Amino acid sequence: MQSITPDRMKAIDTNCTHLGLKGIQLMENAGAAIARKVLSLDVHNNVLIVAGRGNNGGDAFVAARHLSYYDNIRARVILAGKASGIRTKDALENFNLLKHCGIKGLAEITDSTQSDVFQWFKEADVIVDGLLGTGIRGHVREPEATLIDAINTGNSYVVAVDTPSGLDPATGKGENTVMADTTLTFHRMKTGLENQGEFTGDVEVINIGVCRDAEDTVNRGDLEPLLKRRIDSHKGQSGRVLIIGGGRYSGAPALSAMAALRTGADIVTIASPANVSDTIASFSPNLIVRKLSSEILHTNDIEILKDLIHAHDVVVIGMGLGNEETIHQAIHQILPLCKKVVADADALNELQLPPPENCEMILTPHPGEFARLTGKEVEKELPARAKMLHDFSRENKVITILKGKTDIISDGKYIRQNYSGNAGMSVGGTGDVLAGIVGALFCRTDAFNAACCGAFVNGEAGDVAFAKKGYGLLATDVIEHITDIMRQ
């Protein structure tokens, strides 16, 4: 089973909420599993539950409630800080229930002078460590630091909730960290727990009932980290996208550019052949257009394009270019100059794969284009289609979004599906919109995440547009609703 980062786990948790599985349900399963683990130990008459003010503490409160059912167990709870400081609704609800559970002792610790309470550490057969989980940030502060020392000082058996408190669950590094005998981590192994050792003890992965779709499909939890922006960020920091398109058509690159702007890119430039550049510029005052020398994309323009490529983070190439040998030659010379590329439409013709070294490439084919790329008919059934996409992406070292009723995205390692979108989006131009969205996101995150979230945002914006316009929706309507999805 593959390990995941704490950030990925957070995205999966949030996706669960959006699918209708509440965090408090997962918390109940997590806490009940901790209690079962305590009950399985040979000696468990005195159990001390040490809880923080986040959801890791919430899991610990649930465990305390489950343990309080047994007359032969003296379950006592120490909260790090004051009850008024409990930060999440789920944790607070579970804390409040403890009043009704006959808990044998409940203390709120703010400093190390509460010596009578510290006696509880010495009396405990088992300590449940629910101080800090995947929400830990920076060096451990008080009162958690003192409580971690107290846990480590005694001879009790220590069960860590999700991760030993103090450990960085992404890297496995820890300074002031609980030394657990066993760690029960939830849903999947975390990257920082893989090398089970002095902090973690044995690590068990516990199923807490996460729905499959929270992990296998793209949802809000994947997108949310991309919506945050530093208040002091300045122009350019949120992404500079260069669109290379147009010549045969003028609308396509403009749609990509507007979509990239609405997705939050700071600077979007269109480099387009001379015959269409004025037309493209006339579509909107928001567009910056660089006129190229010829009527089609040509190798003569490579020097101009080289400077433009260096001045942007991501190149989105292909929309409306046309399908001629001169254009293919130009594209072959352009791609080695790029670090990050989204290749769509005409750039998918005669494309040489794998991409040049140091060029990360996202492809956005529809089934017809994908059939041309692979030289094979596209599988009709979803699992076979997904495998085909996975194998293609792995062999060619690209990230691919195969557009369809269900979009499938793969980087050759993982496969994800996107359910957002609707039949109204079969209208022309929505593919150009998708490429622009993906380009803007690719400035801010890794290629696979940009591809997944791009497909999701495009489909969600299309769904809002469909609710208003039905089958009359246009690609420009999808663009208008990108901001509904990209708002926090």
Ligand X SMILES: NC(=O)C1=CN([C@@H]2O[C@H](COP(=O)(O)OP(=O)(O)OC[C@H]3O[C@@H](n4cnc5c(N)ncnc54)[C@H](O)[C@@H]3O)[C@@H](O)[C@H]2O)[C@@H](O)CC1
Interface residues for K ion in 107-146 (CB under 5 A)? 129
CB 354 within 8 A of CB 328: no
Residues in the chain: 488
Of positions 161, 319, 457, 479, contacts K ion by CB under 5 A: 161
Question: Which of the stretches 7-15, 26-34, 51-59, 273-281 binds K ion when contact is defined by CB under 5 A?
Answer: 51-59
Determine the interface stretch with K ion among 49-57, 370-378, 426-434, 479-487 (rule: CB under 5 A): 49-57
| 193 touching K ion, by CB under 5 A | no
320 is in an annotated binding site: yes
Of 329, 348, 330, the C-alpha closest to 292 is 330
Q: Is 234 annotated as a binding residue?
A: no
Residue type, 423: A
The side-by-side arrangement of strands in the sheet containing 157-161 is: 105-109, 74-80, 46-51, 126-130, 157-161, 182-186, 202-206
Cα 414–chain centre separation: 13
CB of 473 to K ion, least distance (A): 48
Q: How far is the CB of 99 from K ion (least distance, A)?
A: 23
Element (H, E) at 463: helix 447-469
Contacting ligand X (CB under 6 A), which of 30, 243, 297, 479? Answer: 30
Contact 373, 391 (CB under 8 A): no
Q: Give the single-character DSSP code of 101.
A: T
DSSP-based three-state secondary structure for 338: coil
What is the per-residue binding string for ligand X in 197-226, x denoting contact by CB under 6 A?
-----------x------------------
The residue (of 138 and 383) whose beta carbon lies closer to ligand X is: 138
Least distance to ligand X, CB of residue 87, Å: 5
Contact characters 407-436, ligand X, x per CB under 6 A: ------------------------------
Residue from the set 27, 124, 214, 443 that interacts with ligand X by CB under 6 A: 27
Q: Does 111 bind ligand X (CB under 6 A)?
A: no
Q: Where are the beta strands (DSSP E) in 81-181?
A: 105-109, 126-130, 157-161
Q: What whole-number distance in Å separates Cα of residue 169 and Cα of residue 175?
A: 13
Binding of ligand X at residue 55 (CB under 6 A)?
A: yes
Return the residue of 34, 132, 158, 309 that touches ligand X, per CB under 6 A: 132
What 3-state DSSP class applies to 269?
strand
Beta bridge partner(s), residue 50:
78, 129
Is position 172 an interface residue for ligand X (rule: CB under 6 A)? Answer: no
Could you list the beta-strand ranges (E) of 180-278: 182-186, 202-206, 240-244, 267-272
Size of site (CB under 5 A) for K ion: 5
The yes or no reply on residue 165 touching K ion (CB under 5 A) is yes
Query: Could you tell me which of 437, 417, 419 has the C-alpha nearest to residue 485?
Result: 437
Query: In 3D, which of 421, 121, 434 has the Cα closest to residue 259?
Result: 434
463 binds ligand X (CB under 6 A): no
Q: Would you count residue 121 as binding ligand X (CB under 6 A)?
A: no
* CA–CA distance, 415 with 384 (Å, rounded to integer): 12
Task: Name residues contacting ligand X, limited to 68-107 (CB under 6 A).
Answer: 87-88
Partner from ligand X, K ion, none binding residue 140, C-beta < 5-8 Å depending on class: ligand X
Residue 487: how many CB atoms within 10 A of its CB? 7
- Tell me how far, at minimum, the Cβ of 181 lies from K ion, in Å: 13
List residues forming the annotated binding site for AMP. 431
Residues near ligand X (CB under 6 A): 13, 23, 26-27, 30, 52-59, 87-88, 132-141, 144, 161-162, 186, 208
Residues near K ion (CB under 5 A): 56, 129, 160-161, 165
